[in-house]
């Protein structure tokens, strides 16, 4: 699909000639046609065929596109002319100046700070792309990667990796620059990583660390997650290093010290950065070091592959444990990454680099040693090299164990404590000396400049060095591998010299030398193997002699019989001692056996060469006694440690109870220790009590209490020592005092919480009321999509109480269904071909010709917007559309009837959809709940008005309940209340209320005899009289008053109420739905017309009263006409006439109130 056509479509939407839905529909149709092989189809042609655009509008769009395209070309040509000069930025002071770099021959010197700057490379591509994007946005044509986030204006994309896409934007409310991180789709679809992102950002939102960009939180919009953080000007360290900018060792250490301080502060809050790299370090114009993306989770291995694909090579700064499943990274992983960054700064290139991710992963997984830093930069001091080596140790245990140690070494590198190196001894000193002599002879010409003795280069610390020991040397004697500080650099220079010397030799001579050296090494190995074989033989002989001696001793001991009983007893004692000496429960038995043995055989005298068994038995007993003393001391120490643990947890009751476990008969030293520990516990208790006293005084005056201190105080009171009896001792009074204060703070906190909840509820209610007003105006304009967007915006940006949020969620579902119902209604109206529905407009019934989502075409060629038609005028077209609708479409028409406030029709449609549409039941329940709620509200108002004798207001509420909010079930629940209300209101019109009225609410059958209704076509439905046409009369002895309710469905319908006397009409009241009222007195003949606002599709109240010699006509409790009655005239019947001629026209009558004398 051509990009030009998409832009033309967007221009059409911006011009408000078509809607976004029409554009999306046309784009989908174009894609489907192209997929079928029709390549010549265009978006403009589709829009014209669907009558969404006219040909003139399409020409205007194409001309506008050509104008904008011309502006873009002119802007690009303008950039081409201006790109001869480029902006140069000082890396340390941030000074900017423009120069023609092609004319600069030497290095630049910053005029602000004096720093020498190299000539940067001249590049055009990147800046041009960024400028084209800015121009497209300026001209109103958004580039492809532009996104929209509510509340923010996205300016440009800053970077992209395997996890995040980073944009620069402006917050609309504050006009501040911010950074917007948007989670990639594949990362967002991973539920484990998504949860990790939510937890990580939740940790860092509340962090306030100097020079660390603050994160404001995480949100979700249109299916993607995005995070907003603070923006800071400056250039990344990555950009500085890519320009081959050399930084001194002092500046590198300053950068490292500042980063370590930031990481130390974050780790104290249990936050790991996880992605230390030059791209996340900013250098501002003032030289300040800023750290970004703290705690922002990154899928590191995903980034490895992504960077490799995008840039061709991927320098890595992550520690090896990140690719291990067995090791959990911690702050030492950030130390490794920072060491890699310092290595890159000083070496000029990363420690690990490769052209493919596999090469890089091989470095990490196989623990390949890194090249020494002096190999790239010999000027770096050995102390700094050692610090970076320790930071980048492959084993986590060999790195710095805390940020404090690392910070101390970085601030004072000369005082860094170096490890003592254990160096292996030389295996064959003679061979080593021969090799050194050969090296000296071969390098005599190049080594004349070297004054020190040549030694073998020591292996770096990370390389494993095999240790070999000779017989003549002791293992305890260790010789350092390096004797002077410049050994490494000297060896490096010697190696270079050797390489240069060898490069000038004859190849045959060099080959002979190598062969001779190899023969010497083989001869040395044969000597070593010969010596090893000789040693093995000696060991074998010694082992054989030992076995022979053991065998003969065993046999002699075996053949010798025990001649004395005490030897047998001692043998038994010895076996029992050896088996049970480590079992405390058997110590008493061992001592008893030793006592018995010594009592029985303690007086035996042993010869000079005989073994003294008595002394050995005494030794057994003494050793057991020592075991007892050691166990006792261990138990005492464990009890002291347990007391310390209780004190640490502030469980002083348990700590004091632990003193009862000490033995009563203890030594003086032990008693002193116990007494000192008790005093320590009591002193600690006193200190904490004083702390809580201060906390209580502060909490009473502050707005918010310290939650941690409050919880600590509550735990402390639960564990407070209460061993003293009630009313005695300091502990009891302390407890009562603190408990009383804690209860006071709890009450104070409850009040604050209730106040906050009240404020929150008020804010929530105000926001709901404000939103309801906005939605009401938007819905009156039929702007359903904008109303839905506004509702979602309020739900996202405001804090609502649960009940209000639940109400808004139901409102959201209703708006989604209403928008779809509106589209379905328009589609159904387009399908109706034969019997077009009629709409009452400008006092005429007009046929509907055509309809779309913006307006209706009425006969003859009248275009009327939907919003200009009253809602009750649209009921006819909904009924006509329902006749041609499917069951699913009928359900959505019911939703539209709810919008039109035609609840009876909506109830009918929803009832018919219950069996096959799942959503119908929930929609019906929601509507019934809404009507029930509304009816209760109006009933409360009705009772209030009646109690204050406000008849007009009370009648208005009663008619509103009767007309809108009473379905069949609801009417049954409230019919009695409404009936009493209407009776009271009608009774108030007649001052002499001495007769009992007759009330017809049509709840029961045959309230009016069938014989009376034989000349009228009437149906009783929903407890209401449905009067189609005809007349009927009610006869009485004398009539004083007739009142009731009526409802017209069409504008031309009318109802006539007449009072007769002896079969002749005397007074009549004629009501027309179009608002025309007529009052007539037949004798002596008087007629009056009255016009009010049309009252079709609503219930109205009428009354004709004979009161104090006057005939009075009332409409909705308002007297409209009065006439003096002749004396002696008695009205004895009432006649009702309806002149409808069509079956679908019905006049409803309900709640007739008649005050008369019965015959």
pLDDT at 281: 93
* C-alpha to C-alpha distance for 462 and 639, rounded to whole angstroms: 46
Residue 913: the pLDDT is 87
For domain 233-419, give the fold: Transferase(Phosphotransferase); domain 1 (1.10.510)
Other C-beta atoms closer than 10 Å to the C-beta of 1036 total 19
Q: Crossing angle of helices 918-947/968-987, nearest 10°?
A: 20
Backbone angles phi, psi at 302, to 5 degrees: -60, -40
Give the separation between CA 444 and CA 621, rounded to whole angstroms: 76
- Pick the range with the lowest mean pLDDT from 193-202, 688-697, 710-719: 710-719
Given this model, what pLDDT does residue 86 score?
A: 56
**Residue partners of 1031: CB distance under 8 A and separation at least 6:** 1015, 1016, 1135, 1136, 1137, 1138
The pLDDT assigned to 678 comes to 81
Closest CA to 932 of 910, 956, 965: 965
Q: 3-state class of 880 per DSSP? A: helix
DSSP bridge partners of 1121: 1113
Q: Reply yes or no on whether the pLDDT at 25 is more than 70.
A: yes
pLDDT at 530: 62
Contact 778, 792 (CB under 8 A): no
Helix (H, G, I), strand (E, B) or coil at 675: helix
**What pLDDT is attached to residue 435?**
45
Least confidently predicted of 219-228, 322-331, 603-612, 940-949: 603-612
| Average pLDDT estimate for 783-792 | 91
Beta strands in 147-201, from DSSP E residues, in sequence order: 152-160, 164-171, 177-183
Per DSSP, 1007 falls in state S
For a pLDDT cut of 70, what percent of the chain falls above it?
72
pLDDT, residue 404, reads: 92
Q: What angle do CA 859, 864, 867 make, to 5 degrees?
A: 145
Mean local confidence (pLDDT), 35-64: 79
For residue 282, the cross-strand partners are 236, 290
Query: Is the domain defined by 140-231 classed in CATH 3.30.200.20?
Result: yes
Residue 57 has pLDDT above 80, yes or no: no
pLDDT for the residue numbered 976: 73
| Assigned token pair, 290 | 């800023």
Taking 80 as the threshold, does the pLDDT of residue 1025 lie above it?
Answer: yes
**Model confidence band, residue 33 (pLDDT cutoffs 50, 70, 90):** confident
Is the pLDDT reported for residue 195 higher than 80?
yes
Pick 305 or 187 by higher pLDDT.
187
**Mean pLDDT of the residues in the chain:** 75
Q: What pLDDT does residue 980 have?
A: 80
State whether the Cα torsion 10-12-14-20 is positive or negative: negative
The mean-pLDDT minimum among 128-137, 926-935, 947-956, 958-967 falls in 128-137
Is residue 105 scored above 70 in pLDDT?
no
Using CA atoms, how far apart are residues 679 and 674, in angstroms rounded to an integer? Answer: 9
CA distance 277 to 248: 19
pLDDT at 642 over 50: yes
Quickly count: other Cβ atoms within 10 Å of residue 634's Cβ: 10
pLDDT of res. 1159: 61
Angle at 422 between CA 418 and CA 428, to 5 degrees: 145
Instruction: State the average pLDDT over residues 417-425.
Output: 47
H and E: helices and strands count for the chain = 32, 29
* pLDDT at 972 (0 to 100): 56
Q: Which long-range contacts (CB under 8 A, 24 or more apart) does 972-977 make?
A: 972/1023, 974/935, 974/939, 975/1001, 975/1003, 975/1023, 977/939, 977/942
Burial group, residue 394, by CB count within 10 angstroms (0-12, 13-18, 19+): middle
- Judge whether 963 and 1099 are in contact, CB under 8 Å: yes
Could you give the count of Cα atoms lying within 13 Å of 1035 in the half-sphere of its Cβ? 8
- Cα 385 to Cα 970: distance, rounded to the nearest angstrom: 87
Distances (CA, A) of 613 to 400, 559, 592, 610: 57, 21, 16, 9
Average pLDDT score over residue span 38-43: 76
Q: Is the pLDDT of residue 616 over 50?
A: yes
Mean pLDDT along residues 225-251? 87
Among 45-59, 584-598, 715-729, 878-892, the least confident range: 715-729
Q: Check residue 436 and give its pLDDT.
A: 47
- Top CATH class of 989-1157 equals mainly beta
Q: 3-state SS string over 287-315?
A: CCEEECCCCCCCCHHHHHHHHHHHHCCCC
- Average the pLDDT over 221-248 and give the result: 86
The yes-or-no verdict on residue 668 having pLDDT over 60 is: yes
What's the pLDDT score for residue 898?
A: 87
What does the pLDDT read at residue 332? 92
Residues 818-842: pLDDT tens digits?
999 999 998 888 888 767 788 877 7
More confident residue, 781 or 752: 781
DSSP β-bridge partners for residue 847:
838
pLDDT above 80: residue 663: no
1141-1150, pLDDT tens digit by residue? 566 678 889 8
Q: How confident is the model at residue 98 (pLDDT cuts 50, 70, 90)?
A: low
- Higher-confidence residue of 1013 and 139: namely 1013
| Residue that has been written with the tokens 């929209």 in this structure | 148
Question: Has residue 1064 got a pLDDT over 80?
Answer: yes
What pLDDT does residue 339 have?
Answer: 93
Per-residue pLDDT, 486: 34
pLDDT value of residue 529: 65
Which neighbouring-strand residues pair with 1113? Answer: 1104, 1121
């Amino acid at each position: 699909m051509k990009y030009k056509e998409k832009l033309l479509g967007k221009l059409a939407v911006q011009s408000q000639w078509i809607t976004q839905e029409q554009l999306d529909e046309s784009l989908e149709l174009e894609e489907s046609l192209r997929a079928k092989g029709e390549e010549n189809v265009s978006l403009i042609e589709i829009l014209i065929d669907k009558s969404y655009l006219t040909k003139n509008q399409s020409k205007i769009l194409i001309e506008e596109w050509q104008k904008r395209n011309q502006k873009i070309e002119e802007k690009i040509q303008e950039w081409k002319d201006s790109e001869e000069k480029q902006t140069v930025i000082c890396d340390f002071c941030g000074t900017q100046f423009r120069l023609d770099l092609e004319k600069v021959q030497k290095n630049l010197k910053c005029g602000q700070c004096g720093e020498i700057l190299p000539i940067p490379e001249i590049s055009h591509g990147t800046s041009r792309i960024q400028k084209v994007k800015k121009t497209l946005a300026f001209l109103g044509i958004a580039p492809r990667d532009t996104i929209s986030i509510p509340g923010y204006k996205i300016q440009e994309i800053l970077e992209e990796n395997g996890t995040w896409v980073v944009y620069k934007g402006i917050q609309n409310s504050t006009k501040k620059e911010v950074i917007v991180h948007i989670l990639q789709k594949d990362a967002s679809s991973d539920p484990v990583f998504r949860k990790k992102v939510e937890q990580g950002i939740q940790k860092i939102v509340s962090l306030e660390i100097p020079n660390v960009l603050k994160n404001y939180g995480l949100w979700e919009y249109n299916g993607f997650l995005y995070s907003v953080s603070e923006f800071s000007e400056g250039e990344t360290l990555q950009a500085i290093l890519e320009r081959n900018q050399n930084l001194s060792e002092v500046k590198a250490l300053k950068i490292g010290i500042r980063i370590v301080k930031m990481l130390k502060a974050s780790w104290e809050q249990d936050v790991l950065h996880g992605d230390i790299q030059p791209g996340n370090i900013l250098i501002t114009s003032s030289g300040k070091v800023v750290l970004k993306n703290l705690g922002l989770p990154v899928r590191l291995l995903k980034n490895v592959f992504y960077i490799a694909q995008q840039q061709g090579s991927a320098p890595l700064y992550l520690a090896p444990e990140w690719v291990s499943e067995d090791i959990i990274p911690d702050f030492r992983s950030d130390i490794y990454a920072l060491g890699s960054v310092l290595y890159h700064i000083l070496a000029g290139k990363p420690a690990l680099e490769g052209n493919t991710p596999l090469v890089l992963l091989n470095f990490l997984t196989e623990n390949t040693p890194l090249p020494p830093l002096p190999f790239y930069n010999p000027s770096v001091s050995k102390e700094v090299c050692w610090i970076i080596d320790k930071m980048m140790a492959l084993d986590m245990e060999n790195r710095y164990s805390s940020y404090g140690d690392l910070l101390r070494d970085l601030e004072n590198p000369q005082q860094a404590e170096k490890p003592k190196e254990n160096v292996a001894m030389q295996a064959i000193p003679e061979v080593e000396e021969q090799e050194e002599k050969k090296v000296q002879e071969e390098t005599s010409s190049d080594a004349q400049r070297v004054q020190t003795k040549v030694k073998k280069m020591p292996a770096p610390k990370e390389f494993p060095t095999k240790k070999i020991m000779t017989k003549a040397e002791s293992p305890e004697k260790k010789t350092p591998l390096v004797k002077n500080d410049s050994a490494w650099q000297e060896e490096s220079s010697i190696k270079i010299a050797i390489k240069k010397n060898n490069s000038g030799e004859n190849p045959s001579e060099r080959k002979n030398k190598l062969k001779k050296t190899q023969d010497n090494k083989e001869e040395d190995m044969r000597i070593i193997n010969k010596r090893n074989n000789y040693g093995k033989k000696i060991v074998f002989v010694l082992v054989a002699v030992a076995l022979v001696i053991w065998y003969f001793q065993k046999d002699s001991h075996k053949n010798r019989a025990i001649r004395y009983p005490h030897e047998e007893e001692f043998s038994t004692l010895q076996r029992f001692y050896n088996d049970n000496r480590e079992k405390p429960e058997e110590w008493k038995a061992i001592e008893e056996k030793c006592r018995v043995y010594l009592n029985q055989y303690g007086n035996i005298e042993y010869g000079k060469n005989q073994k003294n068994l008595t002394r050995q038995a005494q030794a057994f007993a003494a050793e057991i006694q020592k075991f007892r003393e050691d166990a006792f001391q261990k138990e005492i120490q464990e009890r002291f440690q347990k007391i310390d643990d209780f004190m640490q947890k502030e469980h002083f009751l348990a700590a004091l109870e632990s003193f009862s476990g000490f033995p009563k008969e203890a030594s003086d030293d032990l008693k002193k220790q116990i007494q000192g520990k008790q005093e320590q516990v009591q002193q600690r208790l006193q200190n904490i009590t004083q702390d809580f006293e201060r906390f209580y005084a502060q909490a009473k005056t502050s707005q918010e209490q310290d939650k941690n201190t409050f919880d600590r105080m509550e735990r402390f009171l639960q564990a407070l020592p209460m061993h003293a009896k009630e009313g005695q001792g300091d502990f009891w009074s302390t407890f009562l005092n603190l408990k009383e204060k804690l209860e006071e703070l709890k009450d104070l906190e409850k009040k604050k919480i209730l106040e906050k909840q009240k404020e929150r509820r008020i804010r929530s209610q105000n926001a709901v009321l404000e939103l309801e007003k906005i939605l009401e105006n938007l819905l009156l304009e039929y702007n359903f999509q904008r109303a839905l967007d506004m509702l979602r915006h309020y739900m996202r940006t405001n804090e609502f109480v649960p009940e209000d949020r639940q109400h808004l969620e139901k409102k959201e579902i209703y708006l989604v269904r209403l928008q779809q119902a509106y589209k379905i209604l328009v589609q159904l109206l387009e399908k109706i071909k034969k019997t077009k529905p009629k709409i009452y407009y400008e006092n005429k019934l007009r046929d509907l010709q055509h309809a779309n989502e913006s307006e209706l075409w009425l006969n003859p060629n009248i275009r009327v917007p939907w919003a200009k038609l009253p809602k009750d005028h649209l009921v006819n077209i909904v009924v006509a559309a329902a006749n041609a609708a499917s069951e699913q479409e009928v359900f959505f028409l019911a939703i539209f009837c709810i919008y039109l406030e035609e609840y009876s029709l909506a109830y009918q449609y929803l009832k018919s959809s219950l069996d096959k549409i799942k959503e119908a039941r929930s929609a019906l329940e929601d509507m019934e709940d809404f009507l029930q709620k509304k009816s209760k509200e109006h009933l409360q108002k009705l009772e209030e008005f009646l109690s204050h004798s406000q008849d007009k207001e009370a009648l208005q509420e009663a008619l509103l309940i009767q007309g809108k909010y009473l379905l069949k079930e609801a009417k049954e629940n409230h019919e009695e209340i409404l009936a009493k209300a209407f009776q009271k209101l009608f009774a108030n019109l007649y001052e002499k209320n001495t007769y009992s009225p007759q009330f017809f609410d049509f709840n029961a059958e045959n309230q009016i005899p069938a014989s009376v209704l034989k000349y009228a076509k009437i149906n009783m439905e929903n407890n209401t009289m449905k009067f189609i046409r005809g007349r009927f009369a009610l006869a009485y002895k004398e009539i004083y008053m007739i009142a009731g309710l009526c409802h017209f469905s069409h504008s031309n319908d009318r109802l006539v109420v007449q009072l007769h006397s002896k079969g002749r009409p005397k007074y009549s009241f004629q009501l027309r739905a179009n608002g025309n009222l007529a009052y007539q007195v037949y004798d002596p003949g008087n007629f009056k017309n009255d016009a009010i606002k049309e009252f079709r599709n609503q219930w109205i109240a009428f009354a004709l009263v004979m009161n104090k010699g006057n005939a009075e006509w009332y409409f909705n409790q308002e007297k409209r006409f009065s006439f003096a009655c002749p004396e002696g005239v008695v009205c004895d019947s009432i006649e009702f006439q309806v002149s409808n001629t069509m079956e679908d026209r019905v006049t409803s009558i309900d709640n007739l109130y008649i005050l008369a004398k019965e015959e």
